């Protein structure tokens, strides 16, 4: 295994040989039984390459959510889905909420959790731990919902337990660290694969975080 961690620069990542992962690519003709719905639709087929984003519960304020809803109100449904995600990504990068993941201990615990079941339950390919959200690219070996639930359940309990000690800034009466739902996007081909890795690794720079921010440390790329 080749293990590359931390200190990525804008444009440093070019591309990798995705041959070993090509079995995880997926086209658009998807059987309906591979989908399930929470507040967002999710595809949960084992063996897929999936780009996942999950965020802290306080990362988007109600005012921001209302503003996004109003902006998208008159768009056609298909365009609305794409634009909604773009707007959410923009606002996540503004660093709203407690940003507990900007604390070194919390970021380390989250990264350790992502690595814990790699490669047993999934292949963890790339990740970026931002101040209030997390991006990962994985190839699943069990159901995607179970993977994300295990990540959020363990790290969420840990965050609440250590909130006061580490001064994470979570509301004192809060019992929810992560937003219940998440975004997933299946990888279609080699270009999509490489562009996704590039997006994940460059996310701290895209969010205009200063070069000494710990988000630059808590990124990784693991190629088998």
Which pair of tokens denotes residue 192?
């999509």
pLDDT reported for residue 175: 86
Q: Is the peptide bond before 32 cis (omega within 30 degrees of 0)?
A: no
Is the confidence at residue 50, as pLDDT, over 80?
yes
Size (the chain), residues = 224
pLDDT score at 44: 83
Instruction: Identify any residues that bridge with 127 across adjacent strands, giving them in sequence order.
Output: 136, 220
CA distance 89 to 130: 11
Return the pLDDT at 19: 60
4 confidence band (pLDDT: 50, 70, 90): very low
Token pair 């179970």 is at which residue? 146
More confident residue, 101 or 37: 101
pLDDT digits (tens, 9 = 90+) for 168-195: 999 988 889 999 999 999 999 999 999 9
Q: Which segments of the chain are extended strands (E)?
A: 2-5, 35-37, 41-43, 49-55, 122-129, 133-140, 183-186, 219-223
Which of these ranges, 18-22, 92-96, 109-113, 212-216, has the smallest mean pLDDT? 18-22
Q: pLDDT higher for 22 or 99?
A: 99
Q: Is 200 exposed, middle or buried (0-12, 13-18, 19+ CB in 10 A)?
A: buried
Name 117's Cβ contacts closer than 8 Å, sequence gap at least 6.
Answer: 147, 150
Expressed in angstroms, the distance from the first to the final Cα of the chain is 5
Confidence bin at 12 (pLDDT 50/70/90): low
Residue 160: CA count within 13 A, CB half-sphere: 14
Q: Which of 26-40, 42-56, 81-95, 97-111 has the lowest mean pLDDT?
A: 26-40
All structural domains of the chain: 2-59+95-223 (3.30.70.1290)
Q: Which residue has the higher pLDDT, 40 or 71?
A: 71
Q: Is the pLDDT of residue 18 over 80?
A: no
């Amino acid at each position: 295994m080749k293990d590359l961690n931390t200190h990525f620069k804008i444009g440093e990542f070019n591309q990798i040989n995705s041959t070993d992962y090509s079995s995880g690519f997926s086209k658009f003709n998807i059987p309906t039984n591979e989908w399930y719905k929470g507040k967002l639709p999710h595809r949960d087929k084992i063996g897929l390459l999936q780009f996942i984003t999950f965020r802290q519960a306080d990362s988007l304020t109600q005012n921001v959510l209302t503003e996004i809803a109003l902006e998208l109100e008159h768009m056609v449904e298909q365009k609305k889905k794409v634009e909604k995600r773009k707007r959410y990504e923009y606002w996540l990068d503004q660093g709203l909420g407690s940003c507990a993941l900007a604390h070194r201990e919390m970021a380390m615990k989250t990264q350790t959790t992502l690595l814990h079941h790699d490669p047993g339950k999934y292949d963890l390919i790339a990740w970026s731990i931002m101040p209030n959200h997390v991006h990962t690219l994985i190839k699943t070996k069990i159901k995607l919902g179970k993977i994300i639930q295990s990540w959020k359940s363990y790290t969420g309990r840990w965050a609440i337990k250590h909130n006061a000690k580490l001064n994470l800034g979570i509301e004192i009466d809060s019992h929810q660290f992560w937003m219940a739902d998440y975004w997933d996007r299946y990888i279609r081909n080699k270009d999509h694969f490489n562009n996704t890795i590039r997006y994940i690794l460059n996310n701290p720079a895209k969010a205009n975080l200063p070069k000494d921010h710990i988000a630059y440390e808590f990124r990784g790329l693991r190629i088998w």
